[in-house]
Amino acid sequence: MAQYEPADIVAAPPDVRAEESRLRKDLGFWGLTAIGFSNILGSGWLFAALYAAQTAGPAALLSWVGAGVLCALVALVMVELGATRPEGGGTVRWPLYASGRLVGTLVGWSVLLSVGGTAAEISAIMQYAAHYVPGIYHDGRLTATGLGVATALSVLLTALNWFAVRMFARLNNLVSVFKVVVPVVTIVALFLSGTHSGRLTEHGGFAPYGYAACLTALAGGGIVYSVNGFQAPLDFSGEARDPRRTVPAAVLTGIGLAVLVYLGLQLAFLYTVPESLLAHGWQGVSFDSPFGQLALVLNLHWLATLLYADAVVSPGGSAYVGVAIDARHTYALAKNGLLPRFFMHIDPRSGIARRALLLNLAVIIVFMLPFGGWQDIVSVMGDMYLLIYAASAVAVASFRAHDRERGLPLTEGQVPGVRWIAPLSFAVATEFVYWSGWHDLRLALPLVLAGVPLFLLQRRRAEGPPTREELRQGAWLVCHLAALTLLSWLGTFGGSGRLPAPYDSVVVAALSFAVFGWAVRSGAAHLRMTRNGRQLT
């Protein structure tokens, strides 16, 4: 693939180029790996082992392996984009470049909504902190007092990100060390406390609720949300030293380390839950703070103390990274024109988009009002992330198709096999969205589709009504989301069941590959038009 130059696709205005040049390139391999790993290993490790076991029993182990493999496929697509097209907030910019304003607006809108992921981490801190500070969390939601404490924490995390990228990386490295040590200590301590043999075959067998439950556990058990976050180094590719070498290695290393830790935690949970709690099977096991309460039941009070402390540090570290990533996304949204250019201003001394930080602080606080609980937030956020991944798969295939039309050779940064990895990762992301179930999709997909009137309003204000070509080139995503909503209602993952299993998942796969081909053709046509004189800003 030809080396990316923004001018090949879009002639950026002088103010955009001036702000882009102020980004500091201070991040190396270990800094990027720590950012990715810290973003993955957040509140998920404190909750997902319980929810996954409740959903699939011991077969949840297969869900973790599957999530790691499939996320690696999606990551390889995004790695090529990050290595060959390094840019701050790239996950927002690439779909705009490849598919035009309509797709760029819908993806950007999803990114703006996904700031709720940071709110989920803060909510998790409140839930565990309630063990020591009663009254801040009740019945799965923040109380008025808890909302005040969460707001203060959000302000603190924003203040920490207010300073230079180098300081951000150093602080995150320190937090990441603690986040690695505590889960590993938890795994070792639980196994040393004594295990119960036969846990993978007793109490209903290895898959007591059927192997289809492994699919449900991907979303309903919090596994997708837990493994999500591997894209974090890509969003810092514009601030990385030697991004073609360091970004791919950091992304894949982060995924591998995180999946190993999650598998260890899942096994420790399965083997050490007391027999008395399994009278009603794995679905009958219930903890408000899973590993903390399990440690108390096993008389590991020192471990419980450590876990309740880490329940603040781990989600806090992910929230810390999340605030930084959200700022880069908001910066990119301002570059796309979805937000006023006011929010893409880079402070010349620190190299930070401080106005974007302030906007995201407001969004985080507002998001915690209707979604006060961790599980409520992550059930919707996972779908937002997956839609962004799907759009990235289309982007890389569109870029490659356009390069082939121009007769350009492949260059450094190309990922071997991406021609089949891209459609597969698009289908995987779509299946993950579908498997999250009707209960979540009936909220998430209409929220994303609300970006369509936003696009029409934005386009009318800027240049008048959108052209027929713009609508046609972005129609694939609107139709894809509408069809997914219908199939979710018809299917067996929380829907009406009119489309039985496994045919529902087969239909979703067929839809995915058909839409992918449509999307790539539309993207290549858009890139031809852009190159022939039309510009995006």
The residue with tokens 């490790």 is: 45
Task: Kindly report the CATH number assigned to the domain that includes residue 308.
Answer: 1.20.1740.10
In a domain, 6, yes or no: no
In a domain, 12, yes or no: no
Q: Provide the sign of the torsion angle of the four alpha carbons 240, 242, 247, 249, taken in this order.
A: negative
- Which residues, 6+ apart, have CB-to-CB distance to 487 below 8 Å? 434, 499, 504, 507, 508, 511
Give the mean pLDDT of 462-477: 85
In a domain, 26, yes or no: no
Quickly count helices (H) and strands (E) in the chain. Answer: 23, 2
- In tens, the pLDDT along 248-296 reads 888 888 888 889 999 999 999 999 999 989 988 998 888 877 898 899 9
Give the mean pLDDT of 492-503: 89
pLDDT value of residue 150: 86
pLDDT value of residue 387: 86
Q: Does pLDDT of 498 surpass 60? A: yes
| Pick from 33, 522, 474: nearest CA to 248 | 33
- In tens, the pLDDT along 342-357 reads 777 777 666 677 788 8
Give the mean pLDDT of 47-55: 88
In a domain, 29, yes or no: no
Half-sphere CA count of 505, side-chain side, radius 13 A: 15
Return d(Cα 421, Cα 444) in angstroms, integer: 26
Instruction: Answer with the residue of higher pLDDT: 119 or 169.
Output: 119
Report the share of the chain in percent with pLDDT over 90: 21
- In tens, the pLDDT along 27-42 reads 778 788 877 777 787 7
Phi-psi region of 194 (alpha: psi -120 to 50; beta: other; left: phi over 0): left
In a domain, 399, yes or no: yes
Instruction: Answer with the residue of higher pLDDT: 140 or 504.
Output: 504
Q: How many domains does the chain have?
A: 1
Give the mean pLDDT of 215-230: 75
Q: Place 440 in a pLDDT band, splitting at 50, 70 and 90.
A: confident
Give the mean pLDDT of 352-374: 76
Contact of 325 with 39, CB cutoff 8 Å: yes
pLDDT value of residue 174: 65
In a domain, 21, yes or no: no
In a domain, 256, yes or no: yes
pLDDT value of residue 265: 95
Domain carrying residue 221: 36-533
Q: Does pLDDT of 372 surpass 70? A: no
Q: Place 171 in a pLDDT band, splitting at 50, 70 and 90.
A: low
pLDDT value of residue 9: 41
Q: Place 300 in a pLDDT band, splitting at 50, 70 and 90.
A: very high
**Between the CA of residue 303 and those of 134, 230, 291, what are the distances in Å?**
21, 28, 9
Beta strands of 60-170 (E only): which ranges? Answer: 137-138, 141-142
In a domain, 13, yes or no: no
Instruction: Answer with the residue of higher pLDDT: 262 or 71.
Output: 262
Return d(Cα 431, Cα 417) in angstroms, integer: 21
Q: Place 134 in a pLDDT band, splitting at 50, 70 and 90.
A: confident
Return d(Cα 179, Cα 241) in angstroms, integer: 25
- In tens, the pLDDT along 322-341 reads 777 777 777 777 776 777 77
Q: Does pLDDT of 534 surpass 50? A: no
pLDDT value of residue 481: 94
Instruction: Answer with the residue of higher pLDDT: 133 or 4.
Output: 133
